[in-house]
Amino acid sequence: MSTEDESFHPLGQEWENELETMLDDTEYDSDLGMQMAEDAMRVTKGELSEADFHEKYHDDVMEEFGVDDRPTEEAYEEAQKNAGGFAEMLKSVDSDGEESRRGMMKKMGAGAAFVGLGAFGASEGGSESEPNVAAAQEGDDTEQDVQWGMAIDLERCDGCLSCVEACAEENNLDRGVNWMYVLDYEDNGVDTSRNRLVRPCQHCTDAPCEKVCPTTARHTRDNDGLVLTDYDVCIGCRYCQVACPYGVNYFQWDEPDITTEDIEAQAQEEMGDHDHDSDVPHDHMSDERGRWVDSRAPRGVMSKCTMCPTRQDGGMGEDAVGTTACEDACPPDAIQFGNMFDDNSDPQTYADNPARGRALSDIDMSVPSADALEDDLDGADDDLESVLEASEDLDEEDLRIMKAIEIVTDDFGEGDDSHTEYEQNIVEAFDALEAHGLDLDSEEVLVGLDLADEPDEDEEFDGPDESAAQTVLVNEAGEPSSNFQLLQDMGTNPNIIYLGNEPGPQAEQVDGPVAYEDVEADLADGSSVPLADNRKEVLDEMTVGDAGVSL
Amino acid sequence: MSTKTPSEDDILRPMHTFTKKYVLLFAIAALALGAFLVGWMYQLQQGMAVTGLSDWGSGGGVTWGLYIGAFIWWVGIAHGGIILSAAVRLLGMDRYMPVARLAEMLTLAGLSAAGFYIMVHMGRPDRMVTSIIGHYHITVNNSPLVWDVTVITAYFVLTATYLGLTLRYDIARLRDDLPSFAPNVGGKQLPDLLAPVYNVLTLGYTKAEDKVIDRMVWWVALAIIIMAPLLLHGGVIPWLFAVLPNYPGWFGGIQGPQFLTIALTSAISGVILLSYAFRRAYDWDHIITDDIFRGLLLWLGFFCLLFLWLQLQQLATGSFHPTTDHADATASKFSHPMYVGPMLMVLGVLVYIFAQTIRPSLFSKGRAIAAGLLVLTATLVEKTYFVLSGFWYPSFSIYDGSPGEYFPSAIELLSLVGTVGMVVLFFLVLSKLVPVVELHAVEHLRGDHGHGHEHDHESVDESAEQPEVEA
Ligand code: SF4
Ligand code: SF4
């Protein structure tokens, strides 16, 4: 039992605090809840009988929740009538994961949360055995409020393979192990430059690879939904690769080219001076739970795109949280990585309004700094025309787009995703303009920028016209032909949203603008190795008795 | 054609002879297994890259190949074997009693070969126990691979029990005539090493238990007959593939029955070959009679028919108005030699078997053997093609590297020779220890159980001689 921190719960003090906050959010008595949760733990440990527990709290619960609160009462009754008591009841939902557990709580009302929360960590062991401390220590039962994922704008991808290279470098991958893969394709004979697919692992919410794994090596990290492979557990049966409909898995068929020592040395060097979280191991291989899930796989086990857990765990410093190597490397900013549960994250806002996202990313280079604006505007009049004339880096078109972005964006400049930084740059520029005396929300400016209708004589000015702003952005940046998830009918619930053309069932890969062999990755041992498109060609060198023929 | 009346001596003969041929066969089988073990060691040392496999998708290959094809094949033989023997006991098909134990032993041998293939196929076989057992309570809910391991283990235990139960009867009666092995090591005389084995097998045996054992065997047989189609080759083995919607060639409910027919055809073929080998080696013409071969052939024909019928279903549904991914998968079947070849082989066997029922003179043991060999080859090739074709024609077939390339490496091919060697060794050793034909069968043939044995013998003689005249 991990009782050192005086917490009654095997998940520790942190969980307990979280529990308390959660109860605080309900309209019910937190103290009673905490006390009940504590006693619930005692029941699961066998220190308190269930009958006593029910006895002790029945009246309190009835009083607290009242008879009118049907779901609550039902939940409590349900728990009582269940043969094994609530621990058993909770156990029955345990294996279905966090989501359904939360769903159940919602369904049964706050009452269930109230009486049951404390038992979750112990639910595995049931009422007669020790709480499942192992599971608790692994963090199996923590709340998931983050689901990492991406929005990928296929129409902006120029096929340069920078992301593929960055991924290989970040993870020290063998040749042909293309966790990130970019391909051009022909669909029904039509080949346009827009037919391109960027294909990392989709980090599916309902991942078939995880479902079929005979060892739980392939698993979903509870706190952030990353689908990872525990390299210490995997037996290399390759069933995950078979079950994944996207073909994103790469088995480590032989001894990897880069040693773990090289990887660790590189990690020490690169991660050393960051303000990294001290809990996170420093080797770019173990994640915050201490499981070996990051960087290239060792021999005989499975690997695939990880979405950079070391970064997400803060191992590369706070700035790297919420970024991936491929996202950072993409010159046209086609990859947006972030929290899919958060409507204001980069991927969600981008997918929600791609024209806005594109325009924002394009305009960032042209947004003048506040200082430059101040200098330029010194002495100029404060009407729109004079301001535009006086400032060197700001023309009417740029200002129109900047303003249009602001108009269509809720909570402009708030948050900490990378697109919000772009927004903040605009906010600063706007502040400089306002300080100079230009009222950007005035009729003069908005009408002048074609972002509002001029009111009729007897009407009042009714502010910016959102649809006009949107049209400005669409005209500027264009809108993707569609917004899709790959192989949606496979029921995988992928966490990647694509913008652009969806490949049809007859799509066939064709050569892209840049050949894999022409791009070199710099690896941890100091070597520079060209990428390889087809791994089989690399592996054939080791095949015993390779006849050079195929069945 | 020595004696015409089956006797205890007949079934004890394998244990009392030791011929040059035996030694030679033993040496060849051991060499085959040894050669593969060396290959496997090399694979363990170098990694799976020594195979012809690669990743499907951009990896340009297939991730499962001959190892898995051969795995299914051996499990099929094993499962079919046990179904055959259970049918004999359950349905009172006394005619096949002399080969029932061979079928049971084939099951154990086949399951061992299949289990071995699982190990050989893994990237990290050293973790099998810790990783699978350690998370069993979680993975058993979802992973078809875990179901497979579970069911294969369960069946191994069940079959071993079954065999052990029926062996008690024989060993208790034949104990005095069973071999002993008391080697003299460096001038020191060791006690009989086999005696403890027999003693354990017959622990607490009394004649009174025969009836009880009979009933137990009957119930176990019932369990096998029910569970085999539901769980084994009609269940968890096909489900490894049939539950994955991303491979049109695999997905769907037909794989259960389809796999079952493959199991039965290959198991009957295996029993035909085994029976023939034992009959020849130990002059058992009067025990494993031509009549048995004729009967087995007929069953083989029946299951070949089912096999082709279910293939036909898939060809029809895959080509009438298929979805794009299905169309590719089915089109490949019409043209790929690894599919067309096996179909023609099975069809040929079917035609022959039906022809020889109409004109009995067409029967010969040589042809029966050929039919068995053809079917075994066909099922191995078809199953391997089945595995490969999944990766060749996935739903998401956008990759340039798909269909991927594959040719089994020397080590993979050697695994076939090695596992056949392993199974042969299994029989060579076992036949020196226990009777491979049950005492019951001999008693039955003799008419000890009150059957009209005069008549039986005539037909035995006839059928034994007839084909030689014709052939
Ligand atoms: S894409 Fe989905 S199924 Fe495939 S490996 Fe990633 S999480 Fe698993
Ligand atoms: S290869 Fe490893 S991760 Fe994949 S299914 Fe097998 S054990 Fe699980």
The answer on pLDDT for B180 being more than 50 is yes
Task: Tell me which of A171 and B460 has the higher pLDDT.
Answer: A171
Question: Is A235 touching ligand 2 by the criterion CB < 6 Å?
Answer: yes
Which residues in B lie closer than 8 A to residue A299 (C-beta atoms)?
47, 123
**What's the rounded Cα separation, in Å, for the pair B322 and B55?**
27
Task: Tell me which of A151 and B215 has the higher pLDDT.
Answer: A151
Average pLDDT over residues B362-383: 96
Average pLDDT over residues B384-403: 96
Which run of H or of E encompasses A199?
Answer: strand A196-199
The answer on pLDDT for B29 being more than 60 is yes
**What's the rounded Cα separation, in Å, for the pair A314 and A288?**
9
Question: Model confidence at B55, in pLDDT bands (50, 70, 90)?
Answer: very high
**What's the rounded Cα separation, in Å, for the pair A246 and A487?**
8
- In A289-397 the beta strands, taken as DSSP E runs, fall at 302-303, 335-339
Q: What is the ipTM of this complex?
A: 0.91
Quickly tell me which residue has 């016209």 as its tokens. A465
A190-194, A278-282, B29-33, B380-384: the lowest-pLDDT one = A190-194
Task: Tell me which of A59 and B103 has the higher pLDDT.
Answer: B103
Given this model, what pLDDT does residue B75 score? 94
**What's the rounded Cα separation, in Å, for the pair B194 and B182?**
8
**What's the rounded Cα separation, in Å, for the pair B268 and B85?**
10
In a domain, B52, yes or no: yes
Q: Nearest-CA residue of chain B relative to A245?
A: B246
In a domain, B49, yes or no: yes
Residue B161: CB partners within 8 Å, gap ≥ 6?
Answer: B220
Q: Count CA within 13 A, CB hemisphere, residue B230.
A: 6
Give the residues across from B188 on adjacent strands: B185
Task: Tell me which of B62 and B215 has the higher pLDDT.
Answer: B62
Which residues in A lie closer than 8 A to residue B402 (C-beta atoms)?
247
Given this model, what pLDDT does residue B57 score? 96
- In A45-178 the beta strands, taken as DSSP E runs, fall at 148-153
Question: Do the beta carbons of residue A150 and residue A336 sit within 8 Å?
Answer: yes
Q: What percent of chain B has a predicted confidence (pLDDT) above 70?
A: 94
Question: Do the beta carbons of residue B96 and residue B296 sit within 8 Å?
Answer: yes
In a domain, B471, yes or no: no
Quickly tell me which residue has 């919420």 as its tokens. A322
Residue to mutate, A147, A179, A201, ligand 1, most ligand atoms under 8 Å from C-beta: A201
Question: Do the beta carbons of residue A207 and residue A501 sit within 8 Å?
Answer: no
In a domain, B253, yes or no: yes
Average pLDDT over residues B280-303: 94
pLDDT tens over chain A, length 551 residues: 333 444 555 555 665 566 566 555 555 566 666 676 677 666 656 566 666 666 676 666 556 554 444 344 454 455 444 434 444 444 444 444 444 444 444 444 444 444 444 333 333 333 333 333 333 334 445 578 899 999 999 999 999 999 999 999 999 999 999 999 999 999 876 666 579 999 999 999 999 999 999 999 999 999 999 999 999 999 999 999 999 999 999 999 999 999 999 999 999 888 765 555 566 778 999 999 999 999 999 999 999 999 999 999 999 999 999 999 999 999 999 999 999 999 999 999 999 999 999 999 999 988 999 999 999 988 888 889 999 999 888 999 999 999 999 999 988 988 878 888 899 999 999 999 999 999 999 999 999 999 998 888 888 888 899 999 999 999 999 999 889 999 999 999 999 999 999 999 999 999 999 999 999 999 999 999 999 999 999 999 999 988 788 88
**What's the rounded Cα separation, in Å, for the pair A439 and A430?**
9
Of A214, A238, A544, the CB nearest to B132: A214
Task: Tell me which of A464 and B458 has the higher pLDDT.
Answer: A464
Q: Do B410 and A544 touch (CB under 8 A)?
A: yes
Given this model, what pLDDT does residue A514 score? 97
In a domain, B165, yes or no: yes
**What's the rounded Cα separation, in Å, for the pair B260 and B268?**
12
Q: Is the dihedral of CA A140, A141, A146, A147 positive or negative?
A: positive
In a domain, B459, yes or no: no
pLDDT digit string, tens, across residues B320-355:
999 999 999 999 999 999 999 999 999 999 999 999
CA separation, residue B130 to residues A37, A216, A248, B137 (Å): 35, 12, 27, 13
Q: In this complex, is the C-beta atom of A67 within 8 Å of any C-beta atom belonging to chain B?
A: no
Question: Is A168 touching ligand 1 by the criterion CB < 6 Å?
Answer: no
Q: Do B49 and A247 touch (CB under 8 A)?
A: no
- Measured by CA distance, the residue closest to atom 6 of ligand 2 is A237
- Measured by CA distance, the residue closest to atom 7 of ligand 2 is A234
Q: What percent of chain B has a predicted confidence (pLDDT) above 90?
A: 72
**What's the rounded Cα separation, in Å, for the pair A125 and A85?**
13
Q: Do B122 and A300 touch (CB under 8 A)?
A: yes
CA separation, residue A478 to residues A470, B61, B297 (Å): 11, 39, 71
Task: Report the separation in Å between the CA atom of A543 and the middle of ligand 1, taken as the mean of its atom positions.
Answer: 28
Q: Is residue B215 classed as helix, strand or coil in its secondary structure?
A: helix
**What's the rounded Cα separation, in Å, for the pair A57 and A35?**
10
Question: Do the beta carbons of residue A463 and residue A441 sit within 8 Å?
Answer: yes
The burial class, CB within 10 Å (0-12 / 13-18 / 19+), for B100 is buried
- What DSSP designation does B234 have? I
- Measured by CA distance, the residue closest to atom 2 of ligand 2 is A234
Q: Is residue A337 classed as helix, strand or coil in its secondary structure?
A: strand
Given this model, what pLDDT does residue A128 score? 37
What torsion do the CA atoms of A535, A536, A538, A541 make, to the nearest 10 degrees? 160
Number of A/B CB contacts below 8 angstroms equals: 208
- Residue A223 distance to chain B (closest CA, Å): 19
Given this model, what pLDDT does residue B4 score? 72
**What's the rounded Cα separation, in Å, for the pair A243 and A249?**
10
Question: Is A105 touching ligand 1 by the criterion CB < 6 Å?
Answer: no
Q: In this complex, is the C-beta atom of B122 within 8 Å of any C-beta atom belonging to chain A?
A: yes
- Residue A168 distance to chain B (closest CA, Å): 15
Given this model, what pLDDT does residue B449 score? 54
Given this model, what pLDDT does residue B91 score? 87
Average pLDDT over residues B3-10: 82
**What's the rounded Cα separation, in Å, for the pair B240 and A243?**
10
Question: Is A304 touching ligand 1 by the criterion CB < 6 Å?
Answer: yes
Which of these, A484, A482, A505, A480, lies nearest to A496 by C-alpha position? A484
How many domains does the structure of chain B reveal? 1
- Find the CATH number of the domain harbouring B347: 1.20.1630.10
Q: Is residue A496 classed as helix, strand or coil in its secondary structure?
A: strand
Question: Do the beta carbons of residue A170 and residue A308 sit within 8 Å?
Answer: yes
Which residues in B lie closer than 8 A to residue A211 (C-beta atoms)?
142-143
Which of these, B464, B441, B371, lies nearest to B102 by C-alpha position? B441
Which residues in B lie closer than 8 A to residue A238 (C-beta atoms)?
63-64, 123
Which residues in A lie closer than 8 A to residue B132 (C-beta atoms)?
214-215, 235
Q: In this complex, is the C-beta atom of B149 within 8 Å of any C-beta atom belonging to chain A?
A: yes
Average pLDDT over residues B378-396: 97
**What's the rounded Cα separation, in Å, for the pair B189 and B114?**
39
Token digits for B116?
């071995």
Residue to mutate, A209, A212, A213, ligand 2, most ligand atoms under 8 Å from C-beta: A213
Given this model, what pLDDT does residue B446 score? 87
In a domain, B94, yes or no: yes
Task: Report the separation in Å between the CA atom of A211 and the middle of ligand 1, taken as the mean of its atom positions.
Answer: 10
Q: In this complex, is the C-beta atom of A93 within 8 Å of any C-beta atom belonging to chain B?
A: no
Structural domain of B139: 8-401+408-446
The burial class, CB within 10 Å (0-12 / 13-18 / 19+), for A303 is buried
Of B49, B124, B390, the CB nearest to A235: B124
In a domain, B380, yes or no: yes
Given this model, what pLDDT does residue A9 score? 53
- Residue A333 distance to chain B (closest CA, Å): 24
Domain definitions of chain A by residue range: 13-338+495-544, 346-477
Q: Is residue B350 classed as helix, strand or coil in its secondary structure?
A: helix
Which residues in B lie closer than 8 A to residue A508 (C-beta atoms)?
397-398, 400
CA separation, residue A436 to residues A6, A432, A440, B100 (Å): 58, 6, 11, 100
- Measured by CA distance, the residue closest to atom 4 of ligand 1 is A244
- Residue A449 distance to chain B (closest CA, Å): 46
How many other C-beta atoms are found inside a 10 Å radius of the C-beta of residue B345? 21
Given this model, what pLDDT does residue A3 score? 38
How many other C-beta atoms are found inside a 10 Å radius of the C-beta of residue A456? 7
